[in-house]
């Protein structure tokens, strides 16, 4: 039997929260009333975000977390519990890639991207999932990608493969934790209007836009609001799902 919903401010840990889409997710969760723990391999860039959200450092803090180091997840969780008493949400956002043709990818690079993107999410769900199960409540949210659904290789075959793995892991954790008051969902964004996407597309931006039915890049805030909903108590009947935000490129 799941425990009652927390009757106090909830805490959300966001990996890769100091830059890109992570910043939008942090802002959306904080605005929705969550205490946010902004983690990154180098949390220094997040200090400005903390100052923007909460100068007192009571509802927004930073922490160092390298998703390639499994022990970091437990260290961060322990620190969060010690400081705030509990943790209710983990947003697995951190990822990396390098745009290369499939025949140009070195096996070592393939394994490294898989380890960061899929391996990091596996470890995060495993470590935080245990804590959520013990509490009888929790939200795991994994950032996948359109590339993992349709095999797109604009950001690299290793990136697409890792994002496909995330979709499968999301279902596995969702099924295993469903009876414990814990949900696990994924969000699969298409091309968003971020510096990274514009850099990858470069001179091909107009061609890319022509292939998007809505005719524009997606706003990162749309994805951030999806995260905020899935992190909240009203999303308790949603688990094992993949939420699409791709402008109509991939319809199911």
Residue-wise pLDDT tens digits, 138-191: 999 999 999 999 998 778 999 999 999 999 999 999 999 999 999 999 999 999
> 3-class secondary structure for the chain?
CCCCCCCCCCEEEECCCCCCHHHHHHHHHHHCCCEEEEEECCCCCHHHHHHHHCCCCCCEEEEECCCCCHHHHHHHHHHHHHHHCCCCEEEECCCCCCCCCCCCCCHHHHHHHHHHHHHHHHHHHHHHHHHHHHHCCEEEEEECCCHHHHCCCCCCHHHHHHHHHHHHHHHHHHHHHHHHCEEEEEEEECCECCHHHHHHHHHHHHHHHHCCCCCCCECHHHHHHHHHHHHCHHHCCCCCCEEEECCCCCCC
Which of 45-59, 118-132, 197-211 has the highest average model confidence (pLDDT)? 118-132
Instruction: Indicate whether 252 belongs to any domain.
Output: no
Instruction: Indicate whether 232 belongs to any domain.
Output: yes
What's the rounded mean pLDDT across residues 42-53? 90
Instruction: Point out the residues that are catalytic.
Output: 159
Instruction: Indicate whether 5 belongs to any domain.
Output: no
Residue 39 scores a pLDDT above 90:
yes
Instruction: Indicate whether 25 belongs to any domain.
Output: yes
Instruction: Indicate whether 76 belongs to any domain.
Output: yes
pTM, 2 dp: 0.94
Residue-wise pLDDT tens digits, 116-129: 999 999 999 999 99
Range of the domain at 201: 11-245
CATH code of the domain in which 64 resides: 3.40.50.720
What's the rounded mean pLDDT across residues 230-243? 97
Instruction: Indicate whether 4 belongs to any domain.
Output: no
Query: Is pLDDT larger for residue 203 or for residue 237?
Result: 237
Residue 99 pLDDT grade (very low, low, confident, very high; cuts 50, 70, 90): confident
- Considering its fold, how many domains does the chain have in total? 1
């Amino acid at each position: 039997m799941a425990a009652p919903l927390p009757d106090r401010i909830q805490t959300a840990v966001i990996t890769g929260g100091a830059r890109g889409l992570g910043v939008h997710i942090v802002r959306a969760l904080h605005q929705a009333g969550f205490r946010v723990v902004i983690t990154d391999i180098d949390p220094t860039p997040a200090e400005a975000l903390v100052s923007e959200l909460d100068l007192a450092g009571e509802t927004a803090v930073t922490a160092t977390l390298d998703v390639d180091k499994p022990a970091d997840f437990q260290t961060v969780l322990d620190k969060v519990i010690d400081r705030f008493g509990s943790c209710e949400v983990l947003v697995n956002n951190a990822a990396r890639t390098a745009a290369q043709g499939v025949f140009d990818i070195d096996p070592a690079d393939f394994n490294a991207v898989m380890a960061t993107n899929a391996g990091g999410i596996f470890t995060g769900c495993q470590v935080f999932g245990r804590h959520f199960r013990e509490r009888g409540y929790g939200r795991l949210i994994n950032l996948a990608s359109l590339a993992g659904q349709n095999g797109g290789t604009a950001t690299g075959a290793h990136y697409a493969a890792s994002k496909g793995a995330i979709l499968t892991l999301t279902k596995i954790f969702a099924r295993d934790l469903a009876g414990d008051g814990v949900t696990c969902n994924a969000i699969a964004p298409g091309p968003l209007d971020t510096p990274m996407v514009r850099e990858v597309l470069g001179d091909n931006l107009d061609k890319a836009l022509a292939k998007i039915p809505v005719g524009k890049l997606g706003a990162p805030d749309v994805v951030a609001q999806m995260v905020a909903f899935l992190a909240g108590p009203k999303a308790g009947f949603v688990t094992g799902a993949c939420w699409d935000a791709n402008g109509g490129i991939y319809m199911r």
